[in-house]
């Protein structure tokens, strides 16, 4: 327990590993592992789209989520919605009117914090695809254990015993909150404290993004 409290103070996140351009055929793709949780995202677009779903002033964003079993469920639709709304705020869709941008996310391993991993992977894939964006975003999750401690980036076991789980997404400009997705019961003060901790932890995700882009921009002359 002592070690874990130490981690929270230093805002240590699970080790992140990433490969961009993982898929050769899609316009942009990224595979990201956060600890043992792994997600793969691919971005295609701006593409042609049929009349009824195209918008004359902005590009339509479509998010497809494939779980490991392959069977679509209501929970997956819900995740798609969260990811879509988060990405819509980030993408400058008015630059690509009458087109569609498709994001496909494949679950590979889920050992806790999967939604935030999906969001981070989607962001990296969008960065790789070269779609114009207003800002990048970073998702950080945390859990509230039964003693009221806030655990950043909880593991599977911690999630099973947790009273509440919270996911926050921040933009890179002012670190303002883009998406907040919570489950369970907690007080307002706890929410504020969790928000503040996740906001400071999002710096680590942003610097990770910068490292990845630095690594890839060296080879692209």
Partner 1 sequence: MKVEVDDVVLPGDFSEEIDTAGEKGKVILGPGLRKEIDKVYITKAGVLRKRAPNTFWVDSYQKRYVPSRGENVIGFVVQKSGDIFRVDVGSSCPATLSYLSFENATKKNRPEVQVGDVLYAKMLVASKDMEPEIVCVDSHGKKGRLGVLNEGFVFKCSLNLVRKILNPSCPLLESIKNEWPFELAAGMNGRIWIKANTMRETIAVGNAILASEYLSDDEIKNMCTNIASILAGHVS
Q: Which stretch binds partner 1 (CB under 8 A): 10-18, 105-113, 149-157, 170-178?
A: 170-178
Q: In angstroms, give the least distance from the CB of 199 to partner 1.
A: 15
For partner 1, which residue of 77, 92, 156, 192 counts as binding (CB under 8 A)? 92
- Alpha-carbon distance of 35 to 113, in angstroms, equals 9
Interface residues for partner 1 in 104-163 (CB under 8 A)? 127-130, 132-136
177 counts as binding partner 1 under rule CB under 8 A: no
219 counts as binding partner 1 under rule CB under 8 A: yes
- Alpha-carbon distance of 184 to 51, in angstroms, equals 42
48 counts as binding partner 1 under rule CB under 8 A: yes
E strand residue ranges, the chain: 16-20, 28-34, 37-47, 60-66, 100-109, 137-144, 150-152, 164-171, 177-184
CA distances from 20 to 26, 144, 146, 212, 217 (A): 11, 33, 38, 8, 11
Q: Quick check: 43 and 96 in contact, CB under 8 A?
A: no
64 counts as binding partner 1 under rule CB under 8 A: no
65 counts as binding partner 1 under rule CB under 8 A: no
When the beta carbons of 101 and 144 are compared against partner 1, the nearer one is: 101
Q: Please, what is the end-to-end C-alpha distance for the chain in angstroms?
A: 48
Q: Which stretch binds partner 1 (CB under 8 A): 80-88, 93-101, 149-157, 181-189?
A: 93-101
When the beta carbons of 44 and 106 are compared against partner 1, the nearer one is: 44
By 3-state DSSP, what share of the chain in percent is helix, strand and coil, each rounded to 5?
Answer: 40, 30, 30
Q: What does the binding site for partner 1 look like in residue numbers (CB under 8 A)?
A: 21, 27-28, 44-48, 90, 92, 95-99, 127-130, 132-136, 171-173, 206, 209-210, 213-214, 216-217, 219-221
């Amino acid at each position: 327990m002592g070690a874990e409290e130490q981690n929270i103070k230093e805002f240590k996140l699970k080790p992140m590993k990433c490969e961009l351009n993982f898929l050769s055929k899609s316009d942009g793709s990224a595979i990201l592992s956060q600890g043992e949780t792994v997600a793969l995202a691919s971005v295609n677009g701006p593409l042609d789209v049929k009349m009824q779903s195209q918008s004359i002033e902005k590009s339509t964003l479509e998010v497809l989520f494939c779980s490991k079993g392959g069977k679509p469920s209501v929970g997956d639709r819900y995740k798609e919605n969260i990811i879509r709304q988060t990405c819509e705020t980030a993408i400058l869709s008015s630059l690509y009117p009458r087109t569609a941008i498709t994001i496909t996310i494949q679950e590979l391993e889920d050992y806790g914090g999967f939604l935030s991993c999906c969001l981070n992977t989607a962001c990296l894939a969008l960065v790789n695809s070269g779609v114009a964006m207003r800002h990048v975003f970073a998702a950080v999750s945390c859990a509230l254990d039964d003693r009221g401690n806030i655990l950043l980036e909880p593991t599977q076991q911690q999630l099973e015993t947790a009273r509440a789980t919270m996911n926050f997404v921040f933009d890179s400009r002012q670190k303002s909150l883009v998406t907040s997705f919570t489950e369970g019961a907690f007080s307002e003060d706890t929410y504020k404290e969790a928000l503040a901790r996740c906001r400071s932890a999002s710096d680590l995700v942003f610097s990770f993004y910068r490292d990845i882009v630095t690594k890839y921009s060296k080879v692209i002359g």
